[in-house]
Structure 1
Amino acid sequence: MSGIIWKFSQYMDDEDVMFSRKCMVSYRMAQDYYGLGMKPIIRMAWASGAVYKIGKKVLIRRDIFEEYLRQHQKIVEDLIDGDEDKLLKALAKEVEGESYE
């Protein structure tokens, strides 16, 4: 195993190891691995800028997509303990293109 993946090997199964070897994945593979629906995968992939289209084939660059997921998970976790109005304002800023904080 390369990089720092070996540090988390006790938490990973064969599916995780095989998925980590791939640089780019299809919508279907991302849907199966992340457990999300097709529309959220497509929406988040385009929002993150991780989509590469080669002819009719559409691929998602995994490292960019996962970084996007991590950033948005942090935003939601930071705001879960706060009030609902603050969460709605932060999400509205994200949609408008402004950064959080």
Structure 2
Amino acid sequence: MPPGVTRRVRLITRFPPSIDQGEYRAVIFTENLRQTTDDSGDSVALKTRIGATVYVRHGDLYPNLSVEGASWNQSQQQIQLLVNNAGEASVRPAVSWILKR
């Protein structure tokens, strides 16, 4: 890609026929390839890496979340949940609270 251009990159997952059912993860990184030279002619390189994790499930795999408990952490001023995932797949749960009296 030329400098200054934004482009959408499409990712395609293809499983070989012999692959087992399961959850597979890949991390895709991007980094700058720019190299600069300082006043004394020495080469200076600074790499910034940005990564994204891609999760792919092959087969009938699902998370199965249940709340095991909830508590108030006074020192951190947080409501904390203990959540169990008895399923066969990862999940990133999100919770929305409405507190009422």
Question: Normalised by the shorter chain, which TM-score bucket?
Answer: under 0.3
Query: Where is the strand percentage greater, Structure 1 or Structure 2?
Result: 2
TM-score, scaled to structure 1: 0.21
TM-score (norm 2): 0.21
Bigger share in helix: 1
